[in-house]
Amino acid sequence: MSEKQPYVRPLSAESRGAAPGRGRLAGRRILVVGGGQQVVDADSDPVGNGRAMSVLFAREGAHVAVADRSAEAGQATVDLILGEGGKASLIHADISREDDIVRMVAAAEEDMGGLDGMVLNVGIGVGGLGLGAVKANEWDTVLGVNLRGPMLCCREALPRMAEGGSITFISSIAGLVAGSRLPAYDASKAALGGLMRHVALEGSRKGVRANIIAPGLVDTPLGRRATQGRPSRGTAPQFFGRQATGWEIAYAALFFMSDESVYVTGQTLAVDSGLTGIS
């Protein structure tokens, strides 16, 4: 008798990005920072987290400002939204530049007539593996994008945010457990927790919520590129027998952007098939 095959979580309509919108964000104005995606293989790339969130928010009735350092990638996301009859605009901005961030947030508010939500889907990991391979300039570069950038976004957006708004940081389970072997990346993602809680505290004065989503292994173009550099990533155990899809991360973000999470703030949600909770 052959051994029982491991369980593989089936892909639902939501997992595949095929579920219809339900009006959960009708009338909302949301800025998605990092709404484009990298290209690894244009013919086979799955959807990235930022693009999936942008498209999903628009399907749910939001006007989405798609910000990305690649105008081409951001415009591709905008075109997908417009092609589905949604509302979207492009803002070309580099989160490593303070002037770009100031301009980006102001433009989003002006283009959409206000700001109800912001998702910070940014993060880089550079350098060699382990502490011995860390270079000071690479450390500064990573923290500049992964931590300083989100801080500046919140500094600019929080005063403009409508009452009852929502800010969601896309972090990583690397901020909860050791694993990426990139010390600057892990440290920056862990530090987002402190920033998020401070934003939640200040935001509470007008009902603005702040939360973190910490994805586990996700099948995105960026994830596939990371696996190319570290093949062991692709063989890591998964309780559901597969990696997450970008759409599954997007639905977690949709929860935080919607009124379904109106009493949730200052929290971190790991979307990782239980890797950080039961392994």
Catalytic residue among 7, 185, 251, 263: 185
Q: Which residues of 130-143 are buried (b: 16+ CB within 10 A; e: fewer)?
A: eeeeeeeebbebbb
Q: Which residue has the tokens 């457990």?
A: 177
CA nearest to 57, candidates 92, 33, 81, 79: 81
Q: Which residue has the tokens 């939501």?
A: 14
Instruction: Calculate the alpha carbon distances from 215 to 131, 133, 137, 266 in Å.
Output: 24, 26, 27, 17
**Distance between CA atoms of residues 120 and 233, nearest Å:** 24
Structure tokens at 35: 């709404």
One-letter identity of residue 202: E
Structure tokens at 206: 């007008």
Respond yes or no: is residue 185 known to be catalytic: yes
Active site residues: 185
